[in-house]
């Protein structure tokens, strides 16, 4: 896909990986709306990016992925301001294993991503009045390999992988011009990884050692994987892992029995 002039939405874009995805889309000429639950930070980032890129191509909407009405409003606002949506990245996510935080992790990571995906499909499918495009969901390598310090987090990321692959396998969706793929990064240098606490993981000291051993990527490393999936129109239902040691790799899974 040629990204120039395309309309994109990135959730949770005020910092970290989401911000890196916003930047790589702007670098490639897209019109980008990013959301975040933190309004002040989001507005600050929109101002900062407006000095580098055309402010006309940037829109920040304060929005919580757990709010259905908020997310519905987001899609309407973007269509009004920029036109039909071509690219959606469901990125917003958190970690947390202690009660009651773990329930919020499920709400944001699983229900937030399902909500974003369903609204994306309703707005992007050509048989629903959209123009087609691509949905990229941000899971984690923790959704595939065991994560001994964050089982709830890992379970939410496994759910995102199967949500994405299952929609991608639906022939009506492909016929309606929407490709869905999922990225599974290992550790990247963001607040989530820097601020590991006992509320976030079981045994934060051991978790820190685990992270150091595996290695920490830059957010730019993951943004390059994201860009690859946005552009490559041959990819649908792919799981792209990104790690410090092995770079980008598509993870092969058993073909569907009907294939
Ligand atoms: N940093 C890492 O090592 C990895 C991160 N990921 C995933 O990447 C995504 C982004 O993570 P990071 O950039 O590391 O985290 P981060 O904590 O730096 O950024 C997450 C952003 O999402 C926003 N957010 C949180 N809850 C929200 C909600 N309910 N609605 C809208 N926005 C909300 C936050 O305010 C924040 O700006 C997450 O889904 C995370 O699970 C996946 C693999 C590795
Ligand atoms: C140590 C748990 C941290 C939980 C939450 C904080 C940050 C999460 C970042 C990730 O999503 C990291 C991704 C993968 C880690 C999980 C399993 C590691 C397997 C790594 C490997 O095999 O290379």
What is the model's pLDDT at position 185?
98
Query: Please, how many CA atoms are within 13 Å of residue 240, restricted to the half-sphere of its CB?
Result: 23
H helices present in the chain, as ranges: 16-27, 39-50, 68-82, 101-105, 113-124, 151-168, 171-175, 191-194, 204-214, 219-231
Using alpha carbons, list the distances in angstroms from residue 41 to 31, 44, 53, 117: 20, 5, 18, 25
Closest CA to 223 of 8, 4, 10, 20: 20
What separation in Å is there between the alpha carbon of 129 and the centre of ligand 2? 38
Per-residue pLDDT, averaged over 209-223, amounts to 97
Q: Give the closest residue (by CA) to ligand 2 atom 9.
A: 187
153 in catalytic set: yes
CA distance 20 to 222: 8
Instruction: Give per-residue pLDDT as tens, 7-48.
Output: 999 999 999 999 999 999 999 999 999 999 999 999 999 999
| Cα-to-centroid distance, 215 and ligand 2 (Å) | 10
User: If you measure from the C-alpha of residue 129 to the centroid of ligand 1, how many angstroms do you get, rounded to a whole number?
Assistant: 30
To the nearest whole percent, how much of the chain has pLDDT over 90?
97
* Cβ neighbours around 121 below 10 Å, total: 20
Q: Please give the Cα distance from 225 to 21 (Å, whole number).
A: 10
Ligand 1 nearest-atom number relative to CA 66: 29
Residues 24, 223 contacting (CB under 8 angstroms): yes
Once rounded to an integer, what is the mean pLDDT over residues 144-164? 97
243 contacts 231 by C-beta, under 8 angstroms:
no
Q: Is the CB of 90 inside a 6 Å radius of any atom of ligand 2?
A: no
Average pLDDT of the residues in 204-212: 96
User: How confident is the model at residue 259, as a pLDDT?
Assistant: 62
Quote the ipTM score.
0.97
* Nearest 10 degrees: Cα torsion 76, 136, 7, 14: 80
* 95 pocket-lining for ligand 2 (C-beta < 6 Å): yes
| Whole-number pLDDT of residue 254 | 76
**Distance between terminal CA atoms of the chain?**
26
Pocket test for ligand 2, best of 147, 153, 157, 244 (most atoms within 8 A of CB): 147
* Distance from residue 175's CA to the centre of ligand 1 (Å): 31
For tokens 């910092």, name the residue. Answer: 15
> How far, in Å, CA of 159 to CA of 67, rounded?
19
The candidate with the shortest Cα–Cα distance to 2, out of 134, 178, 126, is 134
Is residue 112 within 8 A of residue 65, CB to CB? The reply is: yes
pLDDT of 258:
65
Tens digits of per-residue pLDDT, 53-93? 999 999 999 999 999 999 999 999 999 999 999 999 999 99
pLDDT(114) > 90: yes
pLDDT at 171 over 70: yes
The pLDDT assigned to 253 comes to: 86
* Residue in 21, 153, 187, 226 annotated catalytic: 153
Instruction: Provide mean pLDDT across the span 110-115.
Output: 99
Average pLDDT, the chain: 97
- Specify the pLDDT at position 83: 98
pTM of the model: 0.98
Atom index in ligand 2 nearest the CA of residue 184 equals: 13
For residue 100, whether the previous peptide bond is cis, meaning omega lies within 30 degrees of 0, is yes
Angle at CA of residue 214, ends 208 and 216, nearest 5° = 80
Whether residue 256 is predicted with pLDDT greater than 90 in this model: the reply is no
Atom of ligand 2 nearest to the CA of 96: 5
Strand-pairing partners, residue 61, are: 35
């Amino acid at each position: 896909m040629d990204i120039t002039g395309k309309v994109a939405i990135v959730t949770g874009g005020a910092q970290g990986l989401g911000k890196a995805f916003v930047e790589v889309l702007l670098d490639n000429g897209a019109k980008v709306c990013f959301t975040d639950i933190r309004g002040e930070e989001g507005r600050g980032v929109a101002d900062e990016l407006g000095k580098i890129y055309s402010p006309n191509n940037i829109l920040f909407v304060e929005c919580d992925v757990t709010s259905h009405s908020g997310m519905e409003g987001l899609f309407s606002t973007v269509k009004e301001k920029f036109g039909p949506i071509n690219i959606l990245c469901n990125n917003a996510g958190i970690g947390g294993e202690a009660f009651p935080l773990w329930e919020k992790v499920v709400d944001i990571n699983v229900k937030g991503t399902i909500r974003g995906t369903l609204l994306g499909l309703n707005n992007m499918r050509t048989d629903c009045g959209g123009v087609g495009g691509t949905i990229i969901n941000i899971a984690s390598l923790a959704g595939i390999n065991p994560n001994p310090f964050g089982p709830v987090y890992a379970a939410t990321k496994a759910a995102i992988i199967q949500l994405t692959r299952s929609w991608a396998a639906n022939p009506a969706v492909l016929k309606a011009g929407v490709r869905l793929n999922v990225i599974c990064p290992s550790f990247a240098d963001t607040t989530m990884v820097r601020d590991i606490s006992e509320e976030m993981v079981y045994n934060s000291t051991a978790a820190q050692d685990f992270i150091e051993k595996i290695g920490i990527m830059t957010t730019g490393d993951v943004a390059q994987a994201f860009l690859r999936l946005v552009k490559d129109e041959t990819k649908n239902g792919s799981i792209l892992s990104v790690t410090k040691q092995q770079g980008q790799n598509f993870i092969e899974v058993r073909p569907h029995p009907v294939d």
